[in-house]
Each structure stands twice: as C-alpha cells, then as structure tokens.
Chain A
Amino acid sequence: MGGWAIAVHGGAGVDPNLPKERQEEAKRLLTRCLEIGISALRSNLPAIDVVELVVRELETDPLFNSGRGSALTENGTVEMEASIMDGPKRRCGAVSGITRVKNPVSLARLVMEKSPHSYLAFSGAEEFAIKQGAEMVDNEYFITEENVGMLKLAKEANSILFDYRIPTIGTCGAGAAMESPLQMNGLPISVYAPETVGCVVVDKEGRCAAATSTGGLMNKMMGRIGDSPLIGSGTYACNLCGVSCTGEGEAIIRSTLAREVAAVMEYKGLNLHEAVDYVIKHRLDEGKAGLIAVSSSGEVACGFNTTGMFRGCATEDGFMEVGVW
C-alpha cells in the first residue's frame, strides 16, 4: 500500500495564447491548493474532507470557472453545479442550478450526508441549502467583470456558429468566419471557459474521494446541466480509484468518462496509468477532455487530449508537479 496522493485541476482546453502572467497566476493557485490539501492529509483528514476543502478553495478564488468567477449563462447569470463522491461506500452528492450558495461543493456534501437523496437541483437545492445553514451570497458575488466581457465575446462567436448549425465540435464549414481552428464545445478557445475545478485524493488508509465544481459553459442555455455533477461522468470514486474530469461536458457524459477509468481497472485489470491512457485515447471519440485520478494504492495520474490542462499533483514521498501544457 502506498501513501497518500492528491491531484487538482483547473480545467482542460487552455488557449495557447493565454498571457504568461495568467498562466503563472493559475500555477500559483494550483500550488496553494495542493499545499492546503497536503497539510490536511498530513493531519490525517479523510480523503472526502480533503477534496471538499481543496475544491472550496478553488471555488472561492475567482480565477477558475467555479464558485466566484463562474462562467455566465446566456442571461448573464451564474448557475453552478458540483458533485462529490466517497470511494469506500460510493456515497455521493450532487447539485445543479445553484445561484446563491457560496460553495456548491459543500452543498453537494450536505446532500450526500443530510438528505435521503443523491442529487438536488435549482430552487429545491437552494431551499435545502438555507435549511442546512449553508453560507448564502447574492448572485452578483459570483460574477466577475472578466466573465461579463467573455459572455459578450461568446455571444458574438455563437451567433456565427449557430448560423452554420454547429452545436458539435470538429469540422466546421464556416470558412473565413472561423479563423481559429481551435474550438471547445463549439466556442473558439479564446472564449471557451475551460476552468472547471476538481480534486481527487487517496489518504493513508487507501480511501479515495473525488470532487468537481463548475460554472459550466460560457453562454449556456438556462437550465443546462453538464458533466460535473453527474456521477460516473464528471466525478467518480470507488474502492479502486477517484476521478475528476473536465472538458467538453457532452463528450464526457456520452463516454461516462470518470466511471470508465474505474471500469477498465475493475473489468480489464489495468492499473491506474494504463486506465487513464486507455480512456483518453480510446473513449473520447472526437471529444476533448482531461482528467485527474488517484488509485487506492497511492498512484496519481492525469491525462488530456486538449491543448493543455491546469493541473497539479503530489504524493507522500515528496513528488510534486504543477503544469499547464
């Protein structure tokens, strides 16, 4: 049995032209979050507490697309979603359509612990949050000036895309209108908000946990649910591993990507690294995504087929890495 291991991500599908200082800022945040997780693991916090703690930190910082700093819906509002899963008993909680709860991942945890259900959404979820005494804020708290500008760009880009009926990715017939060949979810990568956040942890006891949180897709329709809150798609943990995914939500859902890593370990007998490789290479079809994963024996892995993924990982024996490309 290995020791503890932790990985965090801040989304896959990074604009190659992203300014250096923004890259550095992202790396600093990932490092800080890793350190928070590491010190929690050193104090013997169980994996489930560590993933919640780390994702709360990522939500609270406005840099990535979750909590404060979430991408905006077509109406300029924020609708956040999150999920959390505890490996040993596969207990899980998820929320969608959150507009006022400061830390959606903690609400997902409350759904897991304090409700008879696994998944609550929209007004029912917020009523539950209030009853449970979760910290509430105004929707404006989540909206950053930067995202208001991004929404404008997304709307301009979308008006072009929709003329040519391109809800999907890949080949586009829009010709000159589509100067950047790089697209995620039908949006030019400069506008696409990749930065879903997630954390996976295995603690010293070999317990795995995973958590994912997001504001979703920039300019999304009201009521749109992506992969992040879906157990088996964006988030999954069992007695073998913990997985958090990010990228094109629809591709991740179709391939039930997070469960897929665990399924090939369980049913094909692959180890964590082989499983992550296999899933990224063979399971995404045309889709673009990335994921982080830990195994109960203390391995850590990440994989992506996008241009870059904000990520960091560390293990008990002193290995630590933070990267974008």
Chain B
Amino acid sequence: MGWAIALHGGAGDIPLSLPLERRLPREAGLRHCLDVGIAALKAHKHPLDVAELVVRELENHPHFNAGRGSVLTTAGTVEMEACIMDGKTKKCGAVSGLSTVVNAISVARAIMEKTPHIYLAFDGAEAFAREQGLETTDPSYFITPENIERLKQAQEANRVQIDYTQPIQKVEKQDAANADGDSRIGTVGCVAVDNEGNLASATSTGGLVNKMVGRIGDTPIIGAGTYANHLCAVSATGRGEAIIRGTIARDVAAVMEFKGLSLKEAAAYVVEQAPQGTTGLVAVSSTGEIAMPFNTTGMFRACATEDGYSEIGIWDSPSK
C-alpha cells in the first residue's frame, strides 16, 4: 500500500540511436513531471488533481506530443484531445479537436465536472472552454519548428507510399509517417493512486503526424486510451487505431476483475495480446502496484512509489 504514480510520454519505434538532443530534454521533462506528481501526492492531493497537474506539465513541455509541441494535421494545424477519469466514481471527461486551449486536460476535467455530458469536441468544446474561462492562446503557440519539419517528412513519405500501394493499407500508410523515427510518439499520460486507494488516469495528445483533419484517436476514448475504476488506472499510448480496437485500457481492468490477475500480470497479458509494435501503457492498482509494459521499441516513462522506488526509462529495462 501507499501512493504510486506513473507517467508516459509516448510509446513507439524510438530508435536506440535517438540523438542526445532529443533524448535529454525528454528525460529531463519526465523527471520534472514526476517530481511535480510526487510533491502533489506527498501534499495529499487527490489523484485526480495529481494526474491533471502532471499532464498539464507534460502538455506545456514542447518535446512531447500534447499541448505545446503537438504534431500537425495534414492541413498543418493542431487538433488536440484529452481525457480524464476518476476510479472510484468512474466519472470521466473527454475532449477532441481543440486548437486554442493551452491545457486540453483541464477542459476534459471541466467537462466532467461542469456539464451533464462526458465528451465534447471541436467548436462546441472550444466554446465551452472559453465559457469556463480556461486559458486560450494563438494556435501558433502549439506549433514547433520540429513538428513543421515532421509534417513535411511525413507528407513526402506518404506521397511516395501512395505511388506504390494500390488500395490503402492502413498500417503501411502509418509506417510512412514514421520516417524520422519518433514522429508518431509522444502522447502523454499519468496515472496515480493515493494511500486511500483513490485512483485516476489522464491522457493528452496532439494525435498522429499528418493525420486527417477531424481524426479522433484512442486518447479521448474511455476504455481505449484512458480508463480507471476501483481496481486500477490505465493510460495507453501507441498506434491509436489498434488501441481503440483492443479497448486496451479497459481490458487491463477487465482481466484483473474477471480473471483475477494482478495488475502486472493483467497489463502484461493485454500488451502481449496486442499486435507487436502498437501498444504501451502505464498503470497503477489500488494497492499501489505499478506496471509499464510496451510491445514497441520503447516508451518514454517514469514512475515512483511511496516507499522510495523510482524509475525513468525509454527502452527495455529489467523491471519491465
């Protein structure tokens, strides 16, 4: 027992040769966000507040694909989405298609608490965020030079790809968007549990490089990218379409509940069942266990528990 926290900055084909200038700022970002979460848990903040707080930090960090630093749609714009869920009450909020709100996760929280609905999207969500007085900014704030370059590369790769394939092959087409090795990576998420077993999960993303305008991924979908109940809290990352189809986050909880597996066993089972190279997740249980499995090359991740254990990692590690 005791509190525990885990967070991620995306899973995917992170090349082992990832240049230091891309690796170090992300590791520093993970460390900073983990510290923010630990301090909040030590101050007895509710896990819902902790998860939101940590994801806000991750969104503000330009090296992760959420908030500032979100990847670009095929039209060169940013469309962010986010989701938050409370374990005990299963209350949840989700949002898609945000283009001016600084912290998408806080819109999801406001939808959960201030509307009779769970999920708002696009213009209606933007209007709601403004009504609630949440911070907005010029869309250019979210767009980094690195992501403009990624979009360019993805679009060039796509054009080539289309020449070679007759009918659209979903998976192959997405591979092409992965030309620079880490362009698909960087959804962010955080799961937390406190001493009383309160659980929460939060996930936020800019989506997929070169995604179609209007595309919704797994992140805002309860049960796919994000889920929490009385047993565990889960935030998933990877290839959105595979995570939706596998209802990955809900399945970790379902396997615990219906098969009686522990968190680690359940999380490992679900990730193993998912197609290779598609899925990573972070999860905590009500008893303070942590699991961070992935079947991709790597996953930016960090975790800590009350008894002093802490880990920050990118690629395979013995504790996986």
Q: Which residues of A contact B (CB under 8 A)?
A: 90-92, 94, 96-97, 114-125, 127-128, 167-168, 185-186, 217, 220-226, 230-233, 236, 249-250, 253-256, 259-260, 263-264, 267-268, 285
Bound-state CA distance A115–B173 (Å) is: 10
Give B74's nearest chain A residue, CB to CB.
Answer: A124
List, in ascending order, chain A residues with CB within 8 A of B116's CB. Answer: 167-168, 185-186, 250
B73 to chain A, nearest CB (A): 8
Q: In whole angstroms, how far apart are the Cα atoms of A263 and B91 in the complex? A: 21
Tell whether, in the assembled complex, residue A225 and residue B222 are in contact, meaning their CB atoms are under 8 Å apart.
Answer: no
Choose, from B14-22, B47-55, B124-132, B292-300, the stretch at the interface: B124-132
B258 lies within 8 A of chain A by Cβ: yes
Known pairs A122-B123, A231-B247; A117 contacts B211 (CB<8 A): yes
Q: Is the CB of A267 within 8 A of B254?
A: yes
Say whether B212 contacts A115, CB under 8 Å.
yes
Q: Looking at the complex, which one of A123, A263, A268 makes contact with B122 (CB distance below 8 Å)?
A: A123
A232 touches B224 (CB 8 A): yes
Cα distance A236–B258 in the bound complex, in angstroms: 19
**A185, B118: Cα distance in complex, Å:** 12
Q: Which residues of A contact B250 (CB under 8 A)?
A: 232, 256, 259, 263
Main SS class of interface, A: mixed
Nearest chain B residue, comparing its CB with the CB of A92: B245
Q: Chain B: interface residue count, which band? A: 35 or more
Closest 4 CB pairs of A and B: A124-B214, A223-B124, A167-B116, A222-B124
Q: Assess the A97–B121 pair: CB atoms within 8 A.
A: yes
Are A122's CB and B244's CB within 8 A?
Answer: no
Asked whether A121 lies within 8 Å of B117 as measured between CB atoms, the reply is no
Given the contacts A116-B173, A225-B120, A267-B259, A91 and B217 also touching, CB distance less than 8 Å: no
Give A244 to B51 CA distance when docked, in angstroms: 32
A85 and chain B: residue at smallest CB distance:
B245
For B240-281 the 0/1 string (1 means CB < 8 A from A) is 110011110011001101110000000000000000000000
Q: How distant is A92 from chain B, measured CB to nearest CB, in Å?
A: 6
Residue B64 is within 8 A (CB to CB) of chain A in the complex: no
**Per-position contact with A for B197-240: 1 when CB-CB < 8 Å, else 0?**
00000000000100111111100011110010000000000001
- Chain A residues near B241 (CB-CB < 8 A): 116-118
Q: Would you call A114 and B168 a contact (CB within 8 A)?
A: yes
